Amino acid sequence: MKKIGFIGLGIMGKPMAKNLLKTGYDLTVFDINNDAVEELVTLGAAKGISSKDVASKTDIILTMLPNSPHVKEVILGKDGVIEGVKQGSVLVDMSSIAPLASQEVSEALLKAGVKMLDAPVSGGEPKAIDGTLAFMVGGPEAAFNEVKDILSVMGASVTHVGEIGSGNTTKLANQIIVALNIAAMSEAMVLATKAGVDPEKVFDAIKGGLAGSTVLNAKMPLVLDGNFKPGFRIELHIKDLMNALDTAHELGVPIPLTSNVMETMQALKVDGHAKDDHGGIIQFYENLAKTKVRKFRK
């Protein structure tokens, strides 16, 4: 069994690494948060002292980091992966970053004889915990086939979508659709509630029809309970939409609806809701209409 390195044990990375350990993979981990590292060590992981150290001890390196600058620093910076990685290794970056950044990092790794895949995920913390994430993977197909079984431990769907960078392009498309779904849900449910209709019954009535969606099923029950504990924070969705807007502008693709939702999220950030779950977008519409969408009291 190949040795795996895992760098980035945050809200998503830690449960993903735990699922690999449960399956019996040989795992070496590193994060700047030593408490997270020690938690994984107690479960059977080996402790890495740096990204360079992890890369030198493993054959497949997985990274799960916040954004493009962090990925570049961890992989290409001082004591980074590139300083310790062995020729022939595969690096799988599961972070959600700009497609051009993935291509830039991949070019540097290729010079060191290392194949890279960009493999962002969708599903948030709940699906990271239960191992049912959706992976969107870009890069060499041979490298994809080499790591598919590993990714399948952490995800229910693992799809190769094209060359390097196409994984993150797919993730940007995903994040646009999710954000607009939540915004549409929010407008509709605030309207129904303000009109005096029980939003829980509205949800039950429409979820099986054309307006039904995975987003609606995941977010509406939390909204009805007023639960905005983060599964995926608004500030992280802002990051993804910023990457989407930058990429769209570079390609000459107008995305006006995305721009609108971005400003909604920015307003919530200013109002102190940056760390709320992105289902908390509804709070923007609730504030405008002076109406809260919650379960009606019986």
Catalytic residues: 171
Q: Hey, what are 277's tokens? A: 């779950």
Lookup result for tokens 């408490």 = 35
The tally of CA atoms less than 13 A away on the side-chain side of residue 163 is 4
Nearest to 286, CA basis, from 298, 273, 215, 230: 273
DSSP E strand stretches across 87-200? 90-93, 115-118, 121-122, 133-138, 155-162
Quote the CA–CA distance of 60 and 191 in Å, as a whole number: 50
Lookup result for tokens 């290729």 = 110
Question: Residue 79: helix, strand or coil by DSSP?
Answer: coil
Q: Hey, what are 60's tokens? A: 């497949």
Question: Residue 191: helix, strand or coil by DSSP?
Answer: helix
Quote the CA–CA distance of 265 and 167 in Å, as a whole number: 24
